[in-house]
């Protein structure tokens, strides 16, 4: 690894750290600017008890002091205790939820990548043919349709009507429909991305030269065209994985998946400040890291890329 590449990576890491700090700061002050409090509305909570609870969790201190304390705890990867799920820490809640969400996201991403590349290559090789048009129509529909609509349709057809898969994501085979729901949009996007990229590569001079030299069609497609056309897909894969994991909030609610999405939604409605902030920071950090990995992989796959 040369000095220029190392400096680029270090600069990207520094930018990632600053981005995460901005997310932490904005989330902290926005959450504390919301009217009311985490203990408002609880039954049998007198004013004296509420003040005691606020003192217990440090909510009676000035906002600036709370912010500095929170930053100090985060450097130790300690997001504090949950204000609603008493006896549990935010770290434990996030870890338990992320185990399911990451599993869901990785499966959806791998399915989207595999089928997207295959369908994109087929569409490019059969350009303007019936197969190409069918693939483009289907992918356009998947790209245009929100995940909550697709999830609801799958739930109605395969769970309510046919009874093939359970409606509860916590049951056996309960992740099948959520995985399909999450994979359809990125699969369609990768299909269109692969198709356009491969068509561009197939029109390059070196492809025509290879054909003129008598290189076999299989070698041209898999050894040159497909390999070079996957560069944009590789760049997209990192952010896509982060998008799937963070974008599963609605899908997890639809299929009752016990992931980080449900915990996040419940924390918002319950004004569980530490859990809201901890989840937001973890998800934002995941997106930043995946974008960083994508940028670095782009340079590794295509050394011709100029680093700024």
Please give the Cα distance from 46 to 167 (Å, whole number).
41
The 10s digit of each residue's pLDDT in 142-165 is 888 888 888 889 888 988 888 888
Which CATH superfamily, name and number, covers 92-270? MetI-like (1.10.3720.10)
More confident residue, 4 or 131: 131
Mean pLDDT of 12-27: 87
Please give the Cα distance from 45 to 255 (Å, whole number).
34
Tokens for 151, please give them: 């999830």
Alpha helices per DSSP H over the chain:
3-33, 47-56, 63-75, 90-125, 130-144, 147-154, 176-202, 205-212, 217-219, 226-229, 231-246, 249-254, 260-269, 273-301
Which positions ≥6 away from 221 have C-beta within 8 Å?
Answer: 121, 125
Per-residue confidence (pLDDT) for residue 188, from 0 to 100 = 92
Mean pLDDT of 184-206: 84
Question: Residue ranges of the domains in the chain?
Answer: 92-270
The 10s digit of each residue's pLDDT in 220-277 is 776 667 777 777 787 787 778 777 776 677 888 888 888 887 778 778 777 788 888 8
- The band of 12, judged by pLDDT with boundaries at 50, 70 and 90, is confident
Per-residue confidence (pLDDT) for residue 134, from 0 to 100 = 93
Per-residue confidence (pLDDT) for residue 300, from 0 to 100 = 63
The 10s digit of each residue's pLDDT in 56-65 is 777 778 888 8
Q: Are 179 and 154 in contact (CB under 8 A)?
A: no
Please give the Cα distance from 123 to 119 (Å, whole number).
6
- Quote the pTM value: 0.75
Tokens for 208, please give them: 């025509």
């Amino acid at each position: 690894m040369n000095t220029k590449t190392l400096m680029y990576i270090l600069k990207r890491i520094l930018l990632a750290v600053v981005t995460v700090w901005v997310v932490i700061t904005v989330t902290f002050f926005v959450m504390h600017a919301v009217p009311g409090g985490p203990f408002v509305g609880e039954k049998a909570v007198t004013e004296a008890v509420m003040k005691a609870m606020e003192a217990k969790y440090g909510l009676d201190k000035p906002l600036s002091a709370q912010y500095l304390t929170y930053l100090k705890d985060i450097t130790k990867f300690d997001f504090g205790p949950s204000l609603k799920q008493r006896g549990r820490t935010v770290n434990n809640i996030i870890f338990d939820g992320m185990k399911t969400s990451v599993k869901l996201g990785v499966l959806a991403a791998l399915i989207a990548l595999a089928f997207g590349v295959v369908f994109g290559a087929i569409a490019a090789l059969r350009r303007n043919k019936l197969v190409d048009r069918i693939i483009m129509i289907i992918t356009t529909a998947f790209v245009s349709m929100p995940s909550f609509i697709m999830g609801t349709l799958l739930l109605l057809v395969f769970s309510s009507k046919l009874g093939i898969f359970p409606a509860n994501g916590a049951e056996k085979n309960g992740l099948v429909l959520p995985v399909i729901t999450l994979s359809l949009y990125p699969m369609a996007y990768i299909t269109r991305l692969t198709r356009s990229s491969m068509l561009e590569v197939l029109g390059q001079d070196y492809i025509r030269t290879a054909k003129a030299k008598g290189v076999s069609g299989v070698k041209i497609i898999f050894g040159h065209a497909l390999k070079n056309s996957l560069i944009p897909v590789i760049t997209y894969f990192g952010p896509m994985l982060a998008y799937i994991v963070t974008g599963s909030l609605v899908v997890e609610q639809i299929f009752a998946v016990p992931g980080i999405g449900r915990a996040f939604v419940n924390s918002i409605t319950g004004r569980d400040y530490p859990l809201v902030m901890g989840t937001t920071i973890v998800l934002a950090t995941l997106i930043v890291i995946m974008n960083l990995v994508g940028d670095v992989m782009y340079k590794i796959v295509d050394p011709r890329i100029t680093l700024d």
